[in-house]
Amino acid sequence: MTTQKIKLLFCLFLATGLNLQSYAQSGRTPVRAENGMVASSHYLASEVGSEIIEKGGNAIDASVATAFALAVALPSAGNIGGGGFIVYHGNDGYQTTFNFREKAPMAATEDMFLGENRKVKNNSNHEGLLSVGVPGTVAGLYKAHQKMGDLPWEDLVAPAIKLAEEGFPWTYRLNWFQNWVKNRENEDLYKATAKAFLKNGTDLYKQGEIIKQPDLAETLKRIQKHGADGFYKGKTAELIASYMKEHGGLITEEDLAAYEPEELEPVKGKYRGYDIVAMPPPSTGGVALIEMLNIIEGFDMQEMGHNSAKSLHVLTEAMRRGFADRALHLGDPNFNPEMPVEKLISKDYAADLRETIEENKASQSDSANFSAAHLKYESPQTTQISVVDKEGNAVSMTYTLEHSFGSKITVEGAGFLLNNEMGDFNPIPGYTDTEGFIGTAPNLVAPQKRMISSMTPAIVAKEGRPLLVIGSPGGRTIINTVFQVVVNVLDYKMNIGQAIEAPRIHHQWLPDVTSFERFGISPDTKRLYEAMGHKVKWNDSQGRAMGIYLDHEEGVLYGTADSRSYDSRAVGNN
Ligand code: DON
């Protein structure tokens, strides 16, 4: 090769690299673009969303297409077998939300997980077919599209079908799952998972090898052709119901046909003059977020300094109070008509709570007030899609299978994983302890009821236009992750990259301990914080936030996909 050719190739390489850098990356330097932005947990899905915007799709179109693409490329959390929430805020001020949280099947009962001595039998609320809720994702995406989509439905499902048929490169992120599956390939319940996620049904993929999902592609084609009916009726519904019947699950064709997503009014608050638009119950995230912001509004966070011991103390005390109320009051509103949501998000109530916060002294989480919260481990395997389209309309969508890869059960012949969301109900009625169970009424199992969720898709707006689109996975930590990103942007004036990358903390009332991201908070700060009476434990990583900031003065969008997320990417349209 001549020197000239080598130079030319080098320049081309550099140009491609620079170009990529300018519209797609993760980390503290946000992606900058003028005509749209998609941030999600998988680069291929973000690219799909961005292409939909390029074709004239709006934020709903792009989020739907991204969600279907994630259902192929991010099997840990992307899904058609789970459920979630969409929060929408148009550039014209119009706001709405879609609730497509899973439901308990009609045959579900309060005691369905209990065995001898009223103990949970075989971890059945988290494992096996009883842990599966009636999926909501396809119905939710379809409803949002029916109401607000611009592009044809078929075009939004098509990129996911292509990904499933042509495959995508296996990444390191998926390795533990295939090892898990490999160990169970002969167990009847997981045979279809082995077929779908092991090479030739038996071998391990190496990083970079292409995985194709032909059964999933066929399911997606039925959804493409028939809309929600392609999932809730006909062949897909038959496959789900017969798999359930054969293996002892509860979900029937009737359950599937009866599933209805809901359009709901957002829960709304104000923080230092900015509007907070978030998901109402059965999400607990919106209410807790607004309550916590209201509490800290009475403190000068800027003056205290970001992640100083003082500011961490105030954040912790707000979290403690927000999470206590969450545990005490919130459930599916269709089954709990008396929930005091208006009170919980009111400024007066926050002022009362603020009075109970002492300077430099930790409160105790008083389990005598209310015996205990659900303390169980929750993995960070939900996923967030943040989208802004050319017109400045915004979508924040969080959807989940609950655990990483959900129940890890694949529907034979349909190629997708089922959720294990029933674990988000309170499993033992009346039994609450500090070891991990809460048995209070608002969130007990009932037929067709929705389990509560911590998912907190949220949009901050100013003067009727979206300003910040944000959300994250992380189980209960989600609420605190979103809380801190909002505070980082509004109080500390961080750009979206800094706000997402900054070290985070988590306190959930009970257990009475704060987790700090390891290496994120200095030992000196930790010492000062502990001296106030707080207990601290380390945590490797908290959440995987995806955010977009709309700079209306410059007419520019800034997007960041959390570097805590292995395959994530923000992709902009210029
Ligand atoms: O809806 C919820 O709050 C949980 N199912 C979310 C789960 C999550 O983020 C991480 N998963 N275990």
pLDDT in tens, 242-274: 999 999 999 999 999 999 999 999 999 999 999
Q: Give which of 502, 544, 569 is closest to 380, Cα–Cα.
A: 544
Exposed/middle/buried for residue 116 (C-beta within 10 Å: 0-12, 13-18, 19+): exposed
Distance of alpha carbon 508 from alpha carbon 477, whole angstroms? 8
Confidence of residue 25 (pLDDT cuts 50, 70, 90): low
| 261 Cβ neighbours under 8 A, 6+ residues apart | 98, 99, 100, 136, 139, 140, 143
What's the chain's Rg over C-alpha atoms? Answer: 23
Encoded amino acid at 569, one letter = R
Question: Rounded to whole angstroms, what are the CA distances from 131 to 49, 102, 110, 135, 408?
Answer: 31, 11, 13, 12, 11
Q: Find the residues whose C-beta lies inside 6 A of ligand 1.
A: 378-382, 400, 402-403, 421, 424, 453-455, 473-475, 478
Exposed/middle/buried for residue 338 (C-beta within 10 Å: 0-12, 13-18, 19+): exposed
Mean pLDDT of the chain: 92
Question: Rounded to whole angstroms, what are the CA distances from 304 to 124, 274, 300?
Answer: 46, 21, 7
399 strand-pairing partners: 84, 383
Number of the ligand 1 atom closest to the C-alpha atom of 101:
1
Q: What is the mean pLDDT of residues 494-521?
A: 95
User: Tokens 């900031």 sit at which residue?
Assistant: 549
Q: Ligand 1: which residue has its CA nearest to atom 1? A: 453
Three-class SS state of 17:
helix
Q: Compute the 3-state secondary structure of the chain and give helix, strand, coil in percent, each to the nearest 5.
A: 40, 20, 40
Q: What is the mean pLDDT of residues 56-61?
A: 98
Kindly list the strands in the beta sheet with 262-264, ordered across the sheet, starting from the edge strand earlier in the chain. 24-25, 569-572, 37-40, 382-388, 394-400, 83-89, 95-100, 262-264
Confidence of residue 377 (pLDDT cuts 50, 70, 90): very low
pLDDT tens per residue across span 519-531: 999 999 999 999 9
Number of the ligand 1 atom closest to the C-alpha atom of 454:
3
**Rounded distance from Cα 125 to ligand 1 centre (Å):** 14
Distance of alpha carbon 194 from alpha carbon 405, whole angstroms? 13
| 242 Cβ neighbours under 8 A, 6+ residues apart | none
Q: Is the pLDDT of residue 22 over 50?
A: no
Distance of alpha carbon 80 from alpha carbon 75, whole angstroms? 10
pLDDT tens per residue across span 60-83: 999 999 999 999 999 999 999 999
Exposed/middle/buried for residue 368 (C-beta within 10 Å: 0-12, 13-18, 19+): exposed
Q: Ligand 1: which residue has its CA nearest to atom 8? A: 475
**Rounded distance from Cα 88 to ligand 1 centre (Å):** 21
Helix locations, 248-308, DSSP H? 253-258, 285-296, 301-304
Q: Ligand 1: which residue has its CA nearest to atom 9? A: 475
**Rounded distance from Cα 113 to ligand 1 centre (Å):** 19
Which pTM value belongs to this model?
Answer: 0.94
Angle between helices 153-166 and 43-54 (to 10 degrees): 150
Number of the ligand 1 atom closest to the C-alpha atom of 382:
9
Q: Is 382 a catalytic residue?
A: yes
User: Phi and psi at residue 285, in whole multiples of 5°?
Assistant: -65, -45
**Rounded distance from Cα 147 to ligand 1 centre (Å):** 27
pLDDT tens per residue across span 122-159: 999 999 999 999 999 999 999 999 999 999 999 999 99
The catalytically annotated residue of 236, 382, 456, 514 is 382
